[in-house]
Structure 1
């Protein structure tokens, strides 16, 4: 009897546009929370996901060297293996870089958090040559550890 070779389910995606404003990290956390809530693995991803999307959007708001009227695109994708992909797009082509933070500094650790908590992360130019997107992957196993 032949096996059922039904195709694997497609990833589930959602995206939203946010202004370059200090309230956008909170809006991105809320959008991610609403995206993950209905999924069985969502509870395992939400804590780290909210932290990392907040850091990536904060970087786009604070460090993007583009006109303030240009929006930030935030995209979430949940793969069939429950890996969460977060992308944050902005209009600045310069890749993010680590900068040393003193022990008393109140900022400067966002990319370090992304590097330590994501299973993978990176930065790519946007299609069409305007800007970049920073992405990270989070797995439920890594988040539960």
Structure 2
């Protein structure tokens, strides 16, 4: 392996150490409904995101709240010596992808049938620290 490639791999590995992932597969909610709730917490601090999800009335918010708590637990397991308050965690990325579809038939008038698609989704949540890099400009 070349020097540049090794340095790049080490840098990516160091960046991933500060991240924590949680994934929810085959959640029986349509991706469109889940994205409405996911957009509310994207980029927010973890404490604020938990408050938003706890007091939102949509069913998808309950599932995302549980997923966020799981991501926090994963971060704590990875960084045992650090505390959440000092880390200043944010919801760095939240992605809602379409999952498998259950296809059903519903009777329709005049002997016809309509297809009913029961959608599901996959949610990936990434937590990261919001460390702001101080860039000094030389004039």
Tell me the TM-score normalised to structure 2 length: 0.31
Whichever structure has more strand as a proportion of its residues is: 2
Larger radius of gyration: 2
Question: More relative contact order in 1 or in 2 (CA 8 Å, sep 6+)?
Answer: 2
